[in-house]
Amino acid sequence: MPKPDQLPELRERASDVAALLKTMSHPNRLLAVCALIEGEKSVGTIEAETGVKQPTLSRDLARLRAEGLVTARRDSKTVYYSIADIRINLLIDALCNAFGPDADTNE
Protein backbone atom coordinates (compact mmCIF):
# COMPACT_ATOMS: atom_id res chain seq x y z
CA MET A 1 0.00 0.00 0.00
CA PRO A 2 1.43 3.42 -0.92
CA LYS A 3 2.41 5.80 1.83
CA PRO A 4 1.17 9.43 1.74
CA ASP A 5 4.66 10.70 0.90
CA GLN A 6 4.71 8.47 -2.21
CA LEU A 7 1.56 9.98 -3.72
CA PRO A 8 3.32 12.77 -5.67
CA GLU A 9 5.50 10.22 -7.47
CA LEU A 10 2.51 7.94 -8.04
CA ARG A 11 0.53 10.88 -9.42
CA GLU A 12 3.23 11.41 -12.04
CA ARG A 13 2.94 7.78 -13.17
CA ALA A 14 -0.85 7.40 -12.85
CA SER A 15 -1.52 8.10 -16.54
CA ASP A 16 1.03 5.51 -17.66
CA VAL A 17 -0.39 2.91 -15.27
CA ALA A 18 -3.95 3.69 -16.37
CA ALA A 19 -2.95 3.26 -20.03
CA LEU A 20 -1.33 -0.09 -19.23
CA LEU A 21 -4.41 -1.29 -17.37
CA LYS A 22 -6.63 -0.13 -20.25
CA THR A 23 -4.60 -2.20 -22.70
CA MET A 24 -4.65 -5.22 -20.37
CA SER A 25 -8.38 -4.87 -19.63
CA HIS A 26 -9.52 -6.78 -22.73
CA PRO A 27 -10.07 -10.48 -21.89
CA ASN A 28 -8.24 -11.80 -24.97
CA ARG A 29 -5.18 -9.62 -24.36
CA LEU A 30 -5.15 -10.62 -20.70
CA LEU A 31 -5.32 -14.31 -21.65
CA ALA A 32 -2.51 -13.90 -24.18
CA VAL A 33 -0.25 -12.25 -21.61
CA CYS A 34 -1.10 -14.94 -19.04
CA ALA A 35 -0.09 -17.58 -21.59
CA LEU A 36 3.26 -15.81 -22.10
CA ILE A 37 4.15 -15.75 -18.39
CA GLU A 38 5.82 -19.15 -18.81
CA GLY A 39 8.02 -17.86 -21.64
CA GLU A 40 8.15 -17.38 -25.39
CA LYS A 41 5.39 -19.05 -27.39
CA SER A 42 4.22 -19.23 -30.98
CA VAL A 43 0.89 -17.77 -32.04
CA GLY A 44 -0.40 -21.33 -32.59
CA THR A 45 0.51 -22.35 -29.05
CA ILE A 46 -1.09 -19.22 -27.58
CA GLU A 47 -4.22 -19.91 -29.67
CA ALA A 48 -4.41 -23.51 -28.40
CA GLU A 49 -3.90 -22.49 -24.76
CA THR A 50 -6.31 -19.55 -24.73
CA GLY A 51 -8.99 -20.67 -27.17
CA VAL A 52 -8.81 -17.29 -28.93
CA LYS A 53 -8.97 -17.75 -32.70
CA GLN A 54 -5.90 -16.75 -34.71
CA PRO A 55 -7.23 -13.64 -36.50
CA THR A 56 -8.48 -12.13 -33.25
CA LEU A 57 -5.38 -13.23 -31.38
CA SER A 58 -3.08 -11.70 -34.00
CA ARG A 59 -4.92 -8.37 -33.70
CA ASP A 60 -4.63 -8.42 -29.90
CA LEU A 61 -0.96 -9.43 -29.98
CA ALA A 62 -0.30 -6.58 -32.42
CA ARG A 63 -1.91 -4.17 -29.94
CA LEU A 64 0.21 -5.56 -27.07
CA ARG A 65 3.29 -5.22 -29.27
CA ALA A 66 2.44 -1.64 -30.26
CA GLU A 67 2.09 -0.78 -26.57
CA GLY A 68 5.53 -2.31 -25.87
CA LEU A 69 4.19 -5.07 -23.64
CA VAL A 70 5.31 -7.99 -25.80
CA THR A 71 8.00 -8.57 -28.37
CA ALA A 72 7.85 -10.71 -31.49
CA ARG A 73 10.47 -12.88 -33.14
CA ARG A 74 10.02 -14.49 -36.54
CA ASP A 75 11.53 -17.88 -37.33
CA SER A 76 10.67 -18.72 -40.94
CA LYS A 77 6.85 -18.60 -41.06
CA THR A 78 6.33 -18.86 -37.31
CA VAL A 79 6.08 -15.80 -35.07
CA TYR A 80 7.01 -16.19 -31.41
CA TYR A 81 5.93 -13.74 -28.73
CA SER A 82 7.35 -13.02 -25.30
CA ILE A 83 6.74 -10.50 -22.54
CA ALA A 84 8.85 -7.37 -22.99
CA ASP A 85 8.74 -5.95 -19.47
CA ILE A 86 9.24 -7.87 -16.21
CA ARG A 87 6.66 -5.61 -14.55
CA ILE A 88 4.00 -7.39 -16.61
CA ASN A 89 4.96 -10.64 -14.89
CA LEU A 90 4.58 -8.94 -11.52
CA LEU A 91 1.18 -7.56 -12.50
CA ILE A 92 -0.08 -10.93 -13.72
CA ASP A 93 1.22 -12.63 -10.56
CA ALA A 94 -0.69 -10.07 -8.46
CA LEU A 95 -3.86 -10.62 -10.51
CA CYS A 96 -3.56 -14.40 -10.18
CA ASN A 97 -3.12 -14.07 -6.43
CA ALA A 98 -6.14 -11.79 -6.17
CA PHE A 99 -8.46 -13.57 -8.63
CA GLY A 100 -7.04 -17.05 -9.20
CA PRO A 101 -8.55 -20.31 -7.99
CA ASP A 102 -6.84 -20.02 -4.59
CA ALA A 103 -7.96 -16.43 -3.95
CA ASP A 104 -10.05 -15.93 -0.84
CA THR A 105 -12.64 -13.23 -1.43
CA ASN A 106 -13.84 -13.24 2.17
CA GLU A 107 -10.84 -11.56 3.75
> Can you spell out the DSSP letters for 6-62?
GHHHHHHHHHHHHHHHHHHTSHHHHHHHHHHTTS-EEHHHHHHHH---HHHHHHHHH
Whether domain 15-97 has CATH 3.40.50.2000: the reply is no
> Can you spell out the DSSP letters for 58-70?
HHHHHHHHHTTSE
Run of H or E residues at 89: helix 86-99
Phi, psi of 38 (to 5 degrees): -75, -15
Q: Give the start-to-end residue ranges of the domains of the chain.
A: 15-97
Which residues lie across from 53 on neighbouring strands?
Answer: none
**Is the pTM value of this prediction over 0.75?**
yes
- Output the CA angle 93-94-97, nearest 5 degrees: 85
pLDDT tens track of the chain, all 107 residues?
667 777 888 887 888 889 999 999 999 999 999 999 999 999 999 999 999 999 999 999 999 999 999 999 999 999 999 999 888 999 988 988 888 777 666 65
